[in-house]
Structure 1
Amino acid sequence: AQYLKRIVMAKCTTKRSKARKRFHFSASRNRRKNNRRTRNKLECVNAVLKDEWNQKEGIQENLRKMGFAMDPNKILPIPLTKDLHTNPSLCSTTNWSVEETELNGVNSIVPSEGNILEKQTALSRLKNPIRRRVHVPRIPPCEFEFVMYMVDKYNDDYEAMAMDKKNIYQETPSVIRKRIQKVLSLPDLQVKYLKKRGIIPEGEKTPKRVPEKVMKRWQRWEATKRYLIKEQKAFEEKIDLKDRQRREKRMLEKKMAKNAQVAI
Structure 2
Amino acid sequence: MAKLRKVRRKQKFRYSVNRKRLKQKQESKGKFESVVVKRAWVVQKSAKANLKDMGLSYDPNVTIKSGFDKRWNEEKTDTEVRPSKAYVADILEKEAKAKRVRNFRLPDGQVRYLIYLLKKYGTDYKAMVKDKKNYNQETWKQIKAKIEKFKKIPEQYAEYLNSVNE
The normalised TM-score by structure 2 is: 0.43
Structure number, greater radius of gyration: 1
Higher relative contact order (CA 8 A, sep 6+): 2
* Higher fraction of strand: 1
The normalised TM-score by structure 1 is: 0.29
